[in-house]
Chain A
Amino acid sequence: MFATLLQATGAGDKLVTPEVPWSHLAPQLILVVGATVGVIAAAALRGRLRRSVGAVGAAVVAGAAIVSIIPLWHRVSNPAQGPISAVNGAIGVDRFSLFVTALLCAAVILASFTAEAYLQREGLDGPEFSLLLLLAAAGGSVMAGANDLIVMFIGIEVLSLAVYVLAAMHARRISSQESGLKYFLLGGFASAFLLYGIALTYGATGTTSLLRVQSFLAERVLTDDGLLLGGLALMLVGFAFKVGAVPFHMWTPDVYQGAPSPVTGFMAAAVKTAAFAGMLRVFVVGFASYADLWRPVVGALAIASLVVGAVMSVVQTNVKRMLAYSSIAHAGFVLLGVDAASAEGTAASLFYLAAYTAMALGTFAVVTVVGGSGDGAHTLDAYRGLGRRRPGLALAMSLFLLAQAGTPVTIGFLAKLGVIRAAIDADQWALAIVAMLTAVISTFMYLRIVVAMYFAESESESDDRGELRIPWGVGVTIGVAVIATLVLGVVPGPLEHLSDDALPVLVAVDGR
């Protein structure tokens, strides 16, 4: 594959197969191999495995991937060595890609614990669920490190295919099927847009390598850059679809509503993170010289996402749809950091994504519990009186919601502060003001859920929905998310350091 690529870009007449320094790709390899071995084992031992094996296995594999990141992080942080790349410069190993990979793995761990409880309750078979999470994370990790647009495409497809299946995972629920199909069809369109954009970019610059695109644009001034602009626009459409930015958000409410709740949480947290990582890498770094042209478009996407996400979330009555629109608004906030097109902006975006990962996974873990058997109780009514029935659960949910609203002493506040700072630093005053005003509108929606949980009188005491069970898996997820939301909101130092350092760099150094 790479060989043909190289040939196409005129690397030489002779086929040169690049040497692959496998150790640099350890996190991705662990994820892929773990998933593959898991699928085979599941098929061979069908029925003889306890259900929780899948979740625990996925968590162990993702944990191992995180562990493998630590030496790599130290290595690329070492000023004597610096960031490196693998496979002839096609995959970058820098602190940016490592940070995003670690974030995705953390999301896998939390989501698989929630999923374990969900599968148990719904009587669904299958360690496949957790293993698909691993594959998705591997795809996202490739996206975060892609120094080549084709590799980016491979990453996005691996991620998306896994998530399409995950969305349709609840085979007995028609809404889950519908959600998967919708996501698949619209996602296919988005991929096509992205691929077409890559093709046009290739046509304009003669290469798909971001590194060579960069040097190409540095050396030459294009007198007619229509082709390149078309390519940029189409790629932006593809990414905007994946992050769920307005006006490419249409799928979000339906898919979020229909997908199994743990999957929705994973989509909100991990898919968004991976797509934004790709976007940051391609636009902020690869096409930095065209920033003046794409920034206004990203700014417009941000404003549209903020306004539509906030306003539409208020009029929903289904909590999953509310959270879907709120995730659109959050995408708008992250776009603020992308729009800044600066080191601060990238760091702020990463911080925001990390914060949102914790908050979203926690929120959807609660949603999973409240959804009840059949995963259908997602109206506001289902939350009525939750403060009495399960005070702990209601308190955790309130914390996640208030954190998403940006209340201080939670990580959500610092995330918002970071992107606002980046926007003002880039002289985007209007964006900063719109973002804060829409945050107030979103707050109203979050408060509606809080009101339902605490203040609404349960009209009929006899309406006994039965005791909500909180299985241990969900308990773990919620507990970790609560700790992350609160502790990192007070002591953000560690995460702040990591995200500040995690800047994408384009290098072709196949270090050893």
Chain B
Amino acid sequence: MSAPVFAAATAAPFNPLLVMILVPLIGAAVVALMPKARADLVRQVAVIFSLISGASSLYLLSEFVTKQGDFQFELRHAWMKSFGISWHFGVDGISLFLLVLTGVLFPLAIVAVDPGHDHKPYYAWLLVLMAGSMGVFVALDLVVFFLFFEIVLVPMYFLIGLWGHGDRIYAATKFFLYTMFGSALMLVGIVATAYLHQRGTGGDWTFDVVEIASKPGISTGASRWIFASFALAFAVKVPLFPLHTWLPDAHTEAPTAGSVILAGVMLKLGTYGFVRFGLYLFPEASRFFAPVLLTLGVIGIIWGAICATMQKDLKRLVAYSSVAHLGFIVLGTFSLTKEGIEGAVLQMVNHGITTPALFLLVGMIYERRHTRNIDELGGLQVSAPILAGFFTLAMLASVGLPGLNGFPGEFLALAGAFKGARWWAIVAASGVILAALYLLWAYQRVFHGAAEGDNATMRDLRLVEGLVLAPLCALIIVLGVYPKVMLDRIEPSVTALVEHMQHAEGGGR
């Protein structure tokens, strides 16, 4: 790297990564042991623990050294020695902002939504989920990654099943089984990676991502099979067409906090997995499968948009819009260009800001009107102008209006795709227009027109609700106007990744 001077910069007084994972876990234990009757106290404790974890993610951001593509804040501790598994954690530009996003979204989700019943388990599960999500983004060991990747299912399963709406049991079970099915084969793939790597290089068994990537020893044919097993797991999680059908159900039936976390953090596990474990470990196989994944991504963009247009349920509409947005991330990633991957990473974070904001707003509308049916809503901007204002901003960001945060990521992803995968990019670009269509149309139906009945008397935002939305909206504007803050940190890592891929492929096997 160009700046060896900064190499010793990880000499922070403590390692924030551990704090970010362990504090929510401790919080969950504390919450679980508190008396059931004190719902407010439980909530305050949960907020405090999630804030500590979130604050250390901000501390991580401030201590993170820019212009450096390597992993920082690395930690390694042997776990199962004979298997070559170690607790290996580290951050680079690709995972940094996903961690910060996790650290920001969880406290907001905890503050914003009251579950209504069973407060204690609700907050405990949310804190476990927070720890698991943090763990996924810092894990640099395949088994440890898998461990966190799977463990997040359990709290989300209970969150949807116990505090969800409507057909929550069906949605929760479908969510669990789909994801489990995807990752079952990934476990075989992970063990195969370590086994073939050990056989190819003649060293010890290791599941360490960095080591496996630095010493390639897996034949082209085998790495394609393994990549396929990884891709299946990630494709379910993203979700890619045609494996996306769990998403509308899970998002719609989940409690608002669950939808916020699902859209903001958990969908990124798949796209992040593609970048970290797909491209990084199996460059050749990524290029081999890129046309397939690009096609599925583009289908997702169009299909998600079409489905979103036809939804009658506002929350379901936002859920389908996620399918479309995640398609752009896949498009950027598998353009395999520097711009495309940068755009993908940027879009992961930005989608994690706008869509949770939309879900929060939909949740607030539902709380007031007890319906999410677009036909029953109308003219809300008369009775709730502030809510309408926030909704406009989040919606425009989601559409990708220049100047708001949805734009730079989508633009870079499309620009990268134009370089690396032109025809897909051309089709995908029409998705941008479709997004404008369904979101604006929905906005028009919900907020414009004459307000009748309950719609006319709907209460506007409370102060707390405004305070929850304010940080997200501030980020929408700041990151839209000045994405350089993020790009400075993302770029070196992406450049290193692209160079690594070229090197690995050029070097031949």
Interface residues in chain A, defined as those with a beta carbon under 8 Å from any beta carbon in chain B: 402, 405, 407-409, 413-414, 416-418, 420-421, 424-425, 429, 432-433, 436-437, 439-440, 443-444, 447, 451, 454-456, 492-493, 496, 500
Task: Flag if B191 contacts A421 (CB, 8 Å).
Answer: yes
Task: Flag if B187 contacts A436 (CB, 8 Å).
Answer: yes
If A417-B143, A433-B188, A436-B185 are given as contacts, then 4 extra A-B residue pairs at C-beta distance below 8 Å, sorted by A number, are A407-B153, A424-B192, A455-B168, A456-B169
Task: Flag if A421 contacts B161 (CB, 8 Å).
Answer: no
Task: Flag if B188 contacts A436 (CB, 8 Å).
Answer: yes
**What B residues does A492 contact at CB under 8 A?**
80
**Can you report 18 residue pairs joining A to B where beta carbons are below 8 Å apart?**
A402-B154, A407-B150, A414-B80, A417-B83, A417-B187, A420-B188, A421-B191, A424-B191, A424-B195, A437-B185, A439-B184, A440-B177, A440-B180, A440-B181, A455-B162, A455-B168, A455-B169, A455-B172
Min C-beta distance of A147 to chain B, whole Å: 27
Interface residues in chain B, defined as those with a beta carbon under 8 Å from any beta carbon in chain A: 80-83, 143, 146-148, 150-151, 153-154, 157-158, 161-162, 168-169, 172-173, 176-177, 180-181, 184-185, 187-188, 191-192, 195
**What B residues does A408 contact at CB under 8 A?**
146-148, 150-151
Task: Flag if A500 contacts B82 (CB, 8 Å).
Answer: yes
Task: Flag if A420 contacts B191 (CB, 8 Å).
Answer: yes
Complex CA gap A132/B148 in Å reads 43
Complex CA gap A145/B272 in Å reads 50
Q: Which residue of B lies closest to A427 (CB)?
A: B195
Q: Which residue of A lies closest to B192 (CB)?
A: A424
Given A436-B184, A451-B161, also A443-B176 (CB < 8 A): yes
**What B residues does A436 contact at CB under 8 A?**
184-185, 187-188
Complex CA gap A493/B79 in Å reads 7
**What A residues does B169 contact at CB under 8 A?**
451, 455-456
**What A residues does B162 contact at CB under 8 A?**
454-455
**What B residues does A432 contact at CB under 8 A?**
188, 191
Complex CA gap A443/B154 in Å reads 12
Task: Flag if A444 contacts B83 (CB, 8 Å).
Answer: no
Q: Which residue of A lies closest to B147 (CB)?
A: A408
Q: Which residue of A lies closest to B32 (CB)?
A: A395
Min C-beta distance of A430 to chain B, whole Å: 10
Task: Flag if B191 contacts A417 (CB, 8 Å).
Answer: yes
Min C-beta distance of B107 to chain A, whole Å: 24
Min C-beta distance of A185 to chain B, whole Å: 38
Most buried by B among A408, A409, A416, A418: A408
Complex CA gap A429/B226 in Å reads 12
Task: Flag if A451 contacts B195 (CB, 8 Å).
Answer: no
Min C-beta distance of B317 to chain A, whole Å: 26
Complex CA gap A444/B188 in Å reads 20
Complex CA gap A421/B82 in Å reads 12
Task: Flag if B173 contacts A451 (CB, 8 Å).
Answer: yes
Min C-beta distance of A400 to chain B, whole Å: 13
Complex CA gap A405/B183 in Å reads 13
Q: Which residue of B lies closest to A418 (CB)?
A: B83
Min C-beta distance of B21 to chain A, whole Å: 12
Min C-beta distance of B156 to chain A, whole Å: 13
**What A residues does B157 contact at CB under 8 A?**
447
Given A496-B82, A500-B82, also A443-B143 (CB < 8 A): no
Task: Flag if B180 contacts A443 (CB, 8 Å).
Answer: yes
Complex CA gap A414/B143 in Å reads 10
Most buried by A among B143, B161, B173, B191: B191
Task: Flag if B173 contacts A413 (CB, 8 Å).
Answer: no
Complex CA gap A414/B80 in Å reads 10
Task: Flag if B177 contacts A437 (CB, 8 Å).
Answer: no
Q: Which of A417, A418, A440 contacts B184 (CB 8 A)?
A: A440
**What B residues does A437 contact at CB under 8 A?**
181, 184-185
**What A residues does B187 contact at CB under 8 A?**
416-417, 420, 436
Min C-beta distance of B212 to chain A, whole Å: 15
Given A407-B151, A409-B151, A454-B158, also A424-B177 (CB < 8 A): no
Complex CA gap A417/B141 in Å reads 14
**What B residues does A433 contact at CB under 8 A?**
185, 188
**What A residues does B150 contact at CB under 8 A?**
407-408, 413
| A-B interface, 9 closest residue pairs, ranked by CB to CB distance from nearest | A408-B147, A436-B184, A455-B169, A440-B181, A408-B150, A455-B161, A432-B188, A408-B151, A424-B191
Complex CA gap A496/B82 in Å reads 9
Q: Which residue of B lies closest to A451 (CB)?
A: B169
Complex CA gap A456/B192 in Å reads 40
Min C-beta distance of A216 to chain B, whole Å: 34
Q: Which of B80, B180, B192 contacts A496 (CB 8 A)?
A: B80
Q: Which residue of A lies closest to B152 (CB)?
A: A408
Task: Flag if A444 contacts B154 (CB, 8 Å).
Answer: no
Q: Which residue of B lies closest to A413 (CB)?
A: B147
**What B residues does A409 contact at CB under 8 A?**
147, 151
Most buried by A among B157, B187, B192: B187
Min C-beta distance of A401 to chain B, whole Å: 11
Min C-beta distance of A27 to chain B, whole Å: 27
**What B residues does A417 contact at CB under 8 A?**
83, 143, 187, 191
Given A402-B154, A409-B151, also A421-B177 (CB < 8 A): no
**What B residues does A439 contact at CB under 8 A?**
184
Q: Which of A421, A425, A447, A500 contacts B176 (CB 8 A)?
A: A447
Complex CA gap A363/B279 in Å reads 42
**What B residues does A500 contact at CB under 8 A?**
82
Complex CA gap A233/B380 in Å reads 76
Q: Which residue of A lies closest to B83 (CB)?
A: A421
Min C-beta distance of A173 to chain B, whole Å: 34
Q: Which residue of A lies closest to B161 (CB)?
A: A455
Complex CA gap A208/B275 in Å reads 59
Task: Flag if A444 contacts B80 (CB, 8 Å).
Answer: no
**What B residues does A402 contact at CB under 8 A?**
154
Min C-beta distance of B173 to chain A, whole Å: 6
**What B residues does A444 contact at CB under 8 A?**
173, 177
Min C-beta distance of B186 to chain A, whole Å: 9
Complex CA gap A437/B169 in Å reads 22
Q: Which residue of A lies closest to B121 (CB)?
A: A391
Min C-beta distance of A396 to chain B, whole Å: 13
Complex CA gap A451/B173 in Å reads 9
**What B residues does A414 contact at CB under 8 A?**
80
**What A residues does B148 contact at CB under 8 A?**
408
Min C-beta distance of B289 to chain A, whole Å: 19
